[in-house]
Amino acid sequence: MQDEMEEPVLKKGSLPDVVPSKMYTVTVENVSTNYKFFEAGAVAVPDGESEAGPAFPGHSFTFSFHAGPAHKLSFATMYGLSNDGFYAPSGQGIALYDNGTPVTGNITSQIMLWDAGTQMNQMPGPDNPHNGADTDDPVQLMSEVGDGYDYGTVATNLKVMLDYNGGHMFTVTIEVLAGATTAVSPVAWVVHSMENPIFEAGMTDWDKGLEDLAETGNPGPLSHYLTWNSGYVSPVAPVLWAVHEKDEMPIFTANTPDRGEGLELLAETGNPGDLAASLISMDYNAGAYAIPDGSNAAGPLFPGDKYTFSVDAKPNQYLSIASMLGNSNDIFFAFGDGGIKLAFGNDIEDITHEVMLWDAGTEVNEYPGTKSMDEDEGGLVRLLDDGFTYPAVDKIIKVTIHKNKK
């Protein structure tokens, strides 16, 4: 008689109650270019003309630009019948807002005649040979040079008007008055927050193009330098993170209003604290990280800075993050509303392509970099689509992840 079959024996033993978690390290880096200035350009064609050239008495140059409350305007235009004289405001520039209100009107009183210090002065006027000896003197007010020549006054030669067009756009008109003693050259201009973007009084020329403008009226080299160093710069705010299950949307749901759990504060101020507390209270594995690598204090990421932090997660869980685009009204970085699956190995993997710019829909957007108001929007959380132009995500931020070796 055949023996009864024995009960099979399990070889793998009992399963643990909790699947061991894995620790992942995430790095968020601000990779944006640290531009010196905000906007810059040149205008070479006088109003009403079709070709580049100087503006003679009775003619003018006009240019427009964007600016926020922290910005100032500087420009330079050659006193055409001189060796190296130029009109410009002081190194501090012209303030464009007064307690948040755009400045408009006649700003001629803020314009001065300067000597670039690069060429010996000769008698100004139509007979000026423009062949003075090269010099290496400091930039100074023409009135302090003491060359004994008559250049007229700014008020009798120019009228400079500042207009506000709305939407953070301004227009400047530089009019050469009918009785002026000179024409003026094409204009190089820059919007800035730092002082002395074009020159510094008492210092020699920096060889960035001012000499060309002041001696020949050519704004090209100076404008190229200013434009090359101008652009949108934004800090990246502290990072909110949450580990969650598939199909969960812990931070937001696309195309629906903000839930009132802290995203508005994060997207408008950069503070992730309320949202982190809300998620933790709902039993999410969540938190926030705010200390740049190499620093002992919390703060945003400026160009070149990075956050490095770790999170625990079980196999097949998902990760969501959120971080404000600092120089905005309510724009934030995040993956899709469902996050990304944590299925990464020990090698560092660049996941920046998973990051998108989102609009929290809580505050009306303004021209990038010019934030000056807090106007409630009452909109939806959505992919950024406000009609303005922003740098690509990978030009601002880089996000990498890897699983730590056990």
Alpha helices, H only, 61-218: 142-145, 154-157, 210-216
pLDDT for res 406: 65
| pLDDT tens digits in sequence order for the chain, 406 residues long | 444 545 544 444 444 455 577 899 999 999 999 999 999 999 999 999 999 999 999 999 999 999 999 999 999 999 999 999 999 999 999 999 999 999 999 999 999 999 999 999 999 999 999 999 999 999 999 999 999 999 999 999 999 999 999 999 999 999 999 999 999 999 999 999 999 999 999 999 999 999 999 999 999 999 999 999 999 999 999 999 999 999 999 999 999 999 999 999 999 999 999 999 999 999 999 999 999 999 999 999 999 999 999 999 998 899 999 999 999 999 999 999 999 999 999 999 999 999 999 999 999 999 999 988 889 999 999 999 999 999 999 999 999 999 998 6
Contact criterion met (CB below 8 Å) for 223 and 213: no
DSSP 46-71: -TT-SS---B-TT-EEEEEEE--TT-
pLDDT for res 260: 97
CA atoms within 13 A on the CB side of 262: 20
pLDDT for res 21: 77
Map out the domains of the chain with their CATH numbers: 22-34+233-403 (2.60.40), 39-228 (no CATH)
What span, in angstroms and rounded, lies between the C-alpha atoms of 221 and 36?
Answer: 17
Contact criterion met (CB below 8 Å) for 130 and 108: no
